[in-house]
Amino acid sequence: MTELYVALQRLLPQFLLGRVVHRLARVRTPWFKDLCIRGFTRLFPVNLAEAAHPVPSGYATFNAFFTRALQPGARPQDPDPDAITCPADGRVQQAGTLDDGRLLQAKGMTYTAAELLGDADSAAPFRDGWFLTVYLAPQDYHRVHAPRAGTLTDMLYVPGARLSVNESTAAAVPGLFARNERLVCQFASPDGPFAMVLVGALNVASISTTWAGEVLPCEPRRLRRWHYAGHAGITVGRGDEIGCFNLGSTVILLLPPGFAPADGGLAPGQPLRVGQRVAVRQ
């Protein structure tokens, strides 16, 4: 059954579907956007009590609702200033130590940090480091936050497919996260670099960052790199917003050696929230 599901995804016009979703999500006609928002909240268990504005009247488009801010204080950061905190709401897909530069995708299936990040040089600092893969379901809060303080050094757009990133697809498609379209954001910090990878997926119509605005969709669809090192510098504090998805997808955090999971580890399927402690320095 899973093989058929994956085959059907490959047959879909993934990028045409993304353009249609992108346009429909930005329709400002009140009755249409209200219909979309109400239908979505009936289909998925969205926590409307956390939304910063009334639903649906407080949102001009479905996209504005989907990428909504939360009420102040809804996602407090862990009180330990040295803790690495979760960058997104969702569930643990995988987490653990990189094995000679390889990340676990699913049982018996791995891929390399070099494939994920787009080149071997970028992957070298994470060879024996630690990673966390967070899957964002449609009902989740879809803004992404910095897990620690740092300075942006590079951003890389890597073209690829837009296959679903849910558990069943991840277990069936080798190297899924390194095959899909993605945005790689690399940061420097006083005690080592870290990387955030925002992975595109089926129906993901756009990915935005706070410093560059909407980056996906990217035309033409070719490798593109932005260098920020040596400029005035784009700095983020722990917990600062760095971007958002429309619609849901996956965030992968890479840390260098010297970090370990907090509170006894993270299990696949475990729910996570922005600001929750996920790793500590050893």
Q: What are the tens digits of pLDDT across the range 87-142?
A: 999 999 999 999 999 999 988 899 999 999 998 999 999 999 999 999 999 999 99
The residue whose two tokens read 């965030």 is 251
Question: Active-site residues: which are they?
Answer: 89, 145, 249
Residue 11 pLDDT > 80, yes or no?
no
The residue whose two tokens read 């498609």 is 173
Long-range contacts of 101-107 (CB under 8 A, 24+ apart): 101/126, 101/127, 101/128, 103/131, 103/133, 103/252, 105/133, 105/170, 105/174, 105/175, 105/176, 105/177, 106/167, 106/170, 106/171, 107/171
Band the pLDDT of 282: cuts 50, 70, 90: confident
Residue 216 pLDDT > 80, yes or no?
no
pLDDT, residue 215, reads 84
The residue whose two tokens read 């040295």 is 82
What CA–CA distance (Å, rounded) separates 249 from 203? Answer: 9
Residue 232 pLDDT > 70, yes or no?
no
Mean predicted confidence (pLDDT) in 42-69: 96
Strand order in the sheet with 206-209: 143-145, 241-246, 206-209, 213-216
Q: Give the 3-state secondary structure of residue 236.
A: strand
pLDDT, residue 235, reads 94
Band the pLDDT of 167: cuts 50, 70, 90: confident
Band the pLDDT of 58: cuts 50, 70, 90: very high
Q: Give the pLDDT confidence of 244-259 residue by residue, as tens digits.
A: 988 778 999 999 999 9
CA atoms within 13 A on the CB side of 72: 0
Assessment of whether the complete model's pTM goes beyond 0.85:
yes
